[in-house]
Amino acid sequence: MKKPLSQQEIRKYNFTLWKILIGAIAFFALFIVLIGYEVFGPLPSFRDIEHPKSNQASEIVTDDGRVLGTYFVQNRSNVTYPEISKNVLNALIATEDIRFKEHSGIDFKRTFTIFFYNIIGKKQGGSTITQQLAFNLFSEELRQRNFFKRVLQKFKEWVIAVKLERNYTKEEIIVMYLNTVDFGNQAYGIKSAARVYFNTTPDKLSVAQAATLVGILKGVTRYSPTRNPDRALDRRNTIMGLMVRAELLTEQELQVEQKKTLALVFSAATVNDGIAPYFRAVLKNDVRRIFEERSITKPDGTPYDLDRDGLKIITTINYDMQVYAEEAQKEYMRTLQMSFIKSWKGRNPFKGKEMQIEQGVRRSDRYKSLQLEGKSDEEIKADFDTPTKLTIFTWKGNIDTLMKPIDSVKYYKMLLRNSMMAMDPQTGFVKAWVGGINYEHFKYDQVKMGTRQVGSTAKPFTYSVAVENGYSPCFTVLNEPVTIEVPGSAPWTPRSSGTVPGYLTLQKGLALSQNYIAAYLMKQVGPTAVATLAKKMGISSDVPAYPSIALGSFDASVYDMVGAYSVFANKGIYTKPTYILRIEDKNGVVLHREKPIPVPAMNEEVAYVMTRMLRGVVTNGTGWRLTKYGIKTPVGGKTGTTQNNSDGWFMGITPQLVAGVWTGCEDRAFHFTSTAQGDGATTALPIFAGFMKRVYADPKLKISKADFEPPKNGVSITYDCNQYQQQEQKTELDEKLGF
């Protein structure tokens, strides 16, 4: 039997225990102090804490404040406290940190409770929201697997958490946290998550939506609404249950919210997806060029990175108009493509076009990739003749199929392309930009980067010079072949199909797009004057001073043609199409601002007369089908069809919107077999009609249906040919009666 300890021995043991305990506390305190002094490695500075070195996406914003898209490495956009719905805050606190508003960074009560649960095998996390934010600040350091390194990392989190609590409010901490967390699907931060999963903003997130997003934080894959919707739904309901327990949601509200589906409005955060991908690509290159040309750099002198520095690019694009333009294209091009393929039934579209097919092969990514692999021409040819799995674009969606790569080249050669741009002629602001039919498969922008022969859409340039030189729209001309002498070259005599015999007014000649009338006017005014006017109206591509430009023998972009036609709608003033309003850094500091500069291009009276003539094209000419599509407002326009029906154009003008549409194949050698099927009135006009019909039906756009305003000082040029004929008849009668 052991002898009981004496009082002296008990005091000695107690003293030893106290020494050990005090020593441990002192050691722990010293350890924490040393961590604070960065003895065991650097800690984020307050500047780093407030401005973490995270990859923040740059946002493209529309004229009505909506996000059109982002440029990113990590799709992250920051928000402020007032921009976050209380539903998000409540769901987060109820789930992650119920005593968030009470503790000072470390919830010791929860820490020791979790420690007990982990001992008995019920593993749980014990980090507060502040601690989780502290961990997120180690942007380059993942959660350590080594026990000792993880312990050190944990204590660092504690130190940073306490510093955060001492220097920032609870509101600031929870906002910093929500701006740094990963919600999966390339959505970093609550703003990106709200947009990616529900196409909304954080302030508008409902209880169910907020609970869904907070649920993802427990496991971005396991509880992903797109990958595991059932688990995400269960997790959402669990979180709403926790909100009830925390008295942040009523039982009645829970019963209602639990019955809701996930109701995702998912929009993947990729460059290819979303609206206006062609515009976003062009814009990105333009911003980079602007920064380089104007030497715009960050305060430390380093260049801005659009994918990482959280810039905001405020554009002139109208979100709804952009959607309407893309809808109009998709709706009609699907039908037109079927018509195009049908027009070649029984014929071989590739006969005699071996050179174009070979060019298509050599331009393909597959060919370039095989070349980089060191394949010989024979090996590459064999590869293109071997069936393989390919993903092919169709208007019904992508199709995975087994196909020879050479056949895919032929398939795409017979695929119609299309582009469209719309702008406000008074401000020069671009409102819609559709650069092609599918950015995933065809990256080349055909609004600004590409040029095509403009055909009869160029005729109004010649008519404008004629009107400026005293010709009235009511002047009559015999519609017969015209020959124009060309110095140093053979005389030019244009060809014409669909010629209307006899005398025609200039108004009728333009309305019916008669080549001989345009050539007659060219002979009177000369090609130099027409080319000069075209350049003044914003055509940046080459417009050679040859007579054939009267019929549109030169190439131009949709961007330039829309800008040129805006002169007619804007009383003779050219305003360069503009799509950037300003560029801001992530703190709202304006780095660059653009303001269109109006430049007089033609007399206001001439411009007004041209609007009357272009209206005649729609009411009594080649643009008559606009009324068939339900457009009965005062709209002017001009169709254009190039040789062999390779290009179809329609330019439309209203007082508040000017738009241009082009349709054709990638290669001009592939085209419709007949003008009846391939003219601009068939291939381009319907898309303009579909766009305008949607625009007019949307009252919030406030697009007027009024007519063009005449000059305040009146119009001296006779343009109403009915009144003109009546006056001519009266004059003849007066002469006969001797007046």
Q: Which residue has the tokens 């009505």?
A: 64
3-state secondary structure of 706: coil
> What is the pLDDT at residue 724?
54
Mean pLDDT in the chain?
A: 87
Instruction: Round to whole Å and give the CA distance between 5 and 492.
Output: 126
Task: Count CB atoms within 10 A of the CB of residue 271.
Answer: 16
pLDDT of residue 197 exceeding 50, the answer is yes
pLDDT of residue 135: 74
Predicted pLDDT at 579: 97
Burial 379-393 (b: 16+ CB within 10 A, else e): ebeebbeeeeebeeb
d(CA 707, CA 619): 14
Residues 6+ apart with CB under 8 A from 268: 185, 186, 196, 274
% of the chain at pLDDT higher than 90:
66
| pLDDT tens string 312-363 | 999 999 999 999 999 999 999 999 999 999 999 999 999 999 999 999 999 9
Please tell me the distance from the alpha carbon of residue 402 to that of residue 461, in angstroms, as a whole number. Answer: 50
How far apart, in whole angstroms, are the C-alpha atoms of residue 392 and residue 312? Answer: 35
Read off the pLDDT of residues 666-691 as tens digits, 9 standing for 90 and up. Answer: 999 999 999 999 999 999 999 999 99
pLDDT for residue 337: 97
Residue 90: CA atoms inside 13 Å, Cβ hemisphere, count? 22
**Which tokens go with 103?**
């503790």
Residues 507-519, mean pLDDT to the nearest whole number: 96
Spatial contact of 159 and 42, defined as CB atoms under 8 Å apart: no
Distance, in Å, from the CA atom of 419 to the CA atom of 134, rounded to the nearest integer, reads 49
For 38-91, what is each residue's pLDDT tens digit? 555 556 555 555 555 567 888 999 999 998 988 877 667 788 999 999 999 999
Would you say 640 and 552 are in contact if contact means Cβ atoms under 8 Å apart? yes
| Rounded CA separation 289/307 (Å) | 15
DSSP state of 441: T
Summarize the confidence of residues 276-301 as an average pLDDT. Answer: 94
Question: What's the N-to-C CA distance of the chain in angstroms?
Answer: 153
Would you place residue 457 in the very low, low, confident or very high pLDDT band (cuts 50, 70, 90)? very high
**Among 400, 380, 376, CA closest to 390:** 400
pLDDT score of 142 more than 60: no
Q: Between 595 and 732, where is the model more confident?
A: 595
Residue 303 pairs in a beta bridge with 297
Query: How far is the CA of 305 from the CAs of 190, 297, 298, 309, 597, in angstroms?
Result: 22, 10, 10, 6, 29
Say what the pLDDT of residue 5 is. Answer: 59
Confidence check: pLDDT of 254 > 60: yes
pLDDT confidence of residue 729: 42
| Window from 123-127, 245-249, 381-385 with minimum mean pLDDT | 123-127
Give 530-585 pLDDT, tens digit per residue: 999 999 999 999 999 999 999 999 999 999 999 999 999 999 999 999 999 999 99
Q: How far apart, in whole angstroms, are the C-alpha atoms of residue 205 and residue 611?
A: 48
The label of the residue with tokens 């291939």 reads 683
What are the phi and psi torsion angles at 13 (to 5°)? -65, -45
Express each pLDDT in 585-612 by its tens digit.
999 999 999 999 999 999 999 999 999 9
Distances (CA, A) of 487 to 149, 484, 516, 519, 547: 86, 10, 20, 17, 11
Handedness of CA 163, 146, 132, 239 (dihedral sign): negative
Instruction: Give the DSSP per-residue string, 333-377.
Output: HHHHHHHHHHHTTTS-TTTT-HHHHHHHHHHSHHHHHHHHTT--H
DSSP secondary structure code for residue 699 in this structure: G
Q: What's the confidence (pLDDT) of residue 181?
A: 87
Q: Please, which pLDDT band fits residue 738 given cuts at 50, 70 and 90?
A: very low
Task: Tell me the C-alpha distance between 411 and 398, whole Å.
Answer: 14
CA angle 279, 284, 288 (to 5 degrees): 150
Q: Please state the rounded mean pLDDT for residues 611-631.
A: 96
Asked if 438 contacts 417 with a C-beta cutoff of 8 angstroms, the reply is no
* Domains of the chain, earliest start first: 76-268 (1.10.3810.10), 317-413 (no CATH)
d(CA 357, CA 361): 6
Backbone angles phi, psi at 65, to 5 degrees: 85, 5
Residue 227 has, within 13 A of its CA and on its CB side, a CA count of 10
pLDDT exceeds 90 at position 467? yes
Q: Is the pLDDT of residue 715 over 70?
A: yes
DSSP state of 40: T
Query: At 440, is the pLDDT very low, low, confident or very high (cuts 50, 70, 90)?
Result: confident
Is residue 114 over pLDDT 50? no
pLDDT at 287: 96
Give the residues across from 391 on adjacent strands. 400
pTM of the model: 0.80
On the question of pLDDT at 275 being above 50, the answer is yes
Distance, in Å, from the CA atom of 406 to the CA atom of 381, rounded to the nearest integer, reads 9
